[in-house]
Chain A
């Protein structure tokens, strides 16, 4: 859908009027409820942070393409989506200049240096988030408590205190009135956005459903509360908006199943066995890097071609 000239699945193909621009606009629209929720929960600072990140993402994309004498792809909204997703991964207390550094890493280092949209090896927002979490460890984990309660009171995300006495109820998790980064707290709006994307056929439900189901099953096996695990942390944001990026996820259904399964296993491994509370971003990055191999292993047979030739074709790439 991103590039009409290169269709990688086997025939028959159906063409549609969808363009990169339309798809990206729908993703933006799906993110708006979460944006509104984050402003209500964390105050006007959240809106300013999102605006700063989106504007710097678009600016870096424009400036890099001008500098390199490339066609400027601002109209396709992809930088806006990257900016929004990146901002949703920041706590509301983050200084603005750090957000600009994150936007630079996401757009210039991860996306444009590798050739722009369609050539990035991993989701720009994810790598931007990980680089910031490693680089500004203190500022990135300074989760503010919602404005409705005490001002400037930082707390752990629910995941870090899961299982402790007095941890948040399901309702608190659904409404998102707890500490965390901007876009991960309000589960209801994330679900609305995700269902909107599935209903408008922007994303296929395969990856998010496989991902969430794997996490739920593994939580049960590990003796954790599966609903709590699903609703807390960045899982919903990652599953619906970041793991489903066209460029960095497999194209075939079989590939998507493997991708979602891998995401779930890595996330649970980091959550239950690792020292970090959250593993969604690392699992998405790791699985992004395996996508080229998944694609080769799950390549479709062309219609009318005998099975015998399959090996030859596989070696041909």
Chain B
């Protein structure tokens, strides 16, 4: 495989096959953890770590795992890495553990990770699988962060509050006040209806971005995108 192809495998996950906005996988953690941008970064980092590690291991074991019992095998590998992440987060960034709550151990059943194991890692080499996992993970993290940014600014008026829990070198109570405090925040944005609304708008934007330029070349992802939107 040429290096050009490797780059494509990596960038695919960021926009053209963005796991959340185009493949519509992992919507539950997306809606639940994107109330704040810092939560989105934390969730994205944790999921990316699990995704890369599980993709590498599953790709390495793809010839050993019998086809009939592949799903339990994948889940075992994924659950192992999730346990590692959970212990690390509990020990070193307890603030993030508190913010993500049950969604941290639930990375085990995140469709993106199982989906990439089934769709990509079980059919491709170790390097490609690692790149795919990294690209998908970054796509997931970017989506969560952008969504969290919009919801946090509109719903609480701040940006990146709680980032000090993630990076201990920041001062305690770190937050950027975007909207002046005299303006009442539109609190519905931090609850479920606002989440669904921003999710829909971002899906529409992703569809527009992937289908607009170079009509012929982008026709394949366009179909997926429209299917997801409907």
Contacts from A to B (Cβ < 8 Å): 95, 98, 101, 109, 131, 134-139
Cβ–Cβ contact A138 & B186, under 8 A:
no
Asked if B191 CB lies within 8 Å of chain A CBs, one says yes
Cβ–Cβ contact B188 & A134, under 8 A:
yes
Cβ–Cβ contact B184 & A98, under 8 A:
yes
Main secondary structure of the interface of B (DSSP, over half): helix
Cβ–Cβ contact A131 & B184, under 8 A:
no
For B191, give the chain A residue with the smallest CB separation: A134
Chain B residues contacting A109 (CB-CB under 8 Å) are: 197
CA distance A247 to B193 in the complex (A): 23
Chain A residues contacting B194 (CB-CB under 8 Å) are: 135
Cβ–Cβ contact A135 & B197, under 8 A:
no
Minimum Cβ distance to chain A for residue B188 (Å): 4
Minimum Cβ distance to chain B for residue A134 (Å): 4
Assuming the contacts A109-B197, A134-B191, A134-B193, asked whether A101 and B184 have C-beta atoms less than 8 A apart, the reply is: no
Main secondary structure of the interface of A (DSSP, over half): helix
CA distance A138 to B187 in the complex (A): 10
One digit per residue, 1 when the CB lies within 8 angstroms of any chain A CB and 0 when it does not, for chain B 164-198 equals 00000000000000000000101111010110010
For A135, give the chain B residue with the smallest CB separation: B188
Chain A residues contacting B188 (CB-CB under 8 Å) are: 131, 134-135
Cβ–Cβ contact B186 & A136, under 8 A:
yes
One digit per residue, 1 when the CB lies within 8 angstroms of any chain A CB and 0 when it does not, for chain B 191-220 equals 101100100000000000000000000000
Chain A residues contacting B197 (CB-CB under 8 Å) are: 109
Minimum Cβ distance to chain A for residue B191 (Å): 7
Q: B189 is contacted by which of A95, A98, A135, A138 (Cβ under 8 Å)?
A: A135
Cβ–Cβ contact A101 & B186, under 8 A:
yes
CA distance A95 to B184 in the complex (A): 10
For B187, give the chain A residue with the smallest CB separation: A135
Q: A137 is contacted by which of B187, B189, B193 (Cβ under 8 Å)?
A: B187
A134-B193, A135-B187 given. 6 additional CB < 8 A pairs? A98-B184, A131-B193, A135-B188, A136-B184, A136-B186, A137-B187
Minimum Cβ distance to chain A for residue B199 (Å): 13
For A113, give the chain B residue with the smallest CB separation: B200
For A137, give the chain B residue with the smallest CB separation: B187
Minimum Cβ distance to chain B for residue A63 (Å): 17
For A131, give the chain B residue with the smallest CB separation: B188
Most chain A C-beta atoms within 10 Å of own C-beta, residue among B186, B191, B194, B197: B186
CA distance A131 to B197 in the complex (A): 12
CA distance A138 to B182 in the complex (A): 13
CA distance A101 to B191 in the complex (A): 17
CA distance A124 to B194 in the complex (A): 17
CA distance A258 to B197 in the complex (A): 31
For A95, give the chain B residue with the smallest CB separation: B184
One digit per residue, 1 when the CB lies within 8 angstroms of any chain A CB and 0 when it does not, for chain B 68-104 equals 0000000000000000000000000000000000000
A-B pairs, top 10 by smallest CB distance, nearest first, are A135-B188, A135-B186, A134-B188, A135-B187, A136-B184, A139-B184, A131-B188, A138-B184, A101-B186, A136-B186
Minimum Cβ distance to chain B for residue A128 (Å): 12
Chain B residues contacting A101 (CB-CB under 8 Å) are: 186
A–B Cβ pairs within 8 angstroms, 6 of them: A98-B184, A109-B197, A135-B188, A136-B184, A136-B186, A137-B187
Minimum Cβ distance to chain A for residue B187 (Å): 5
Chain A residues contacting B189 (CB-CB under 8 Å) are: 135
Chain A residues contacting B193 (CB-CB under 8 Å) are: 131, 134
CA distance A139 to B182 in the complex (A): 12
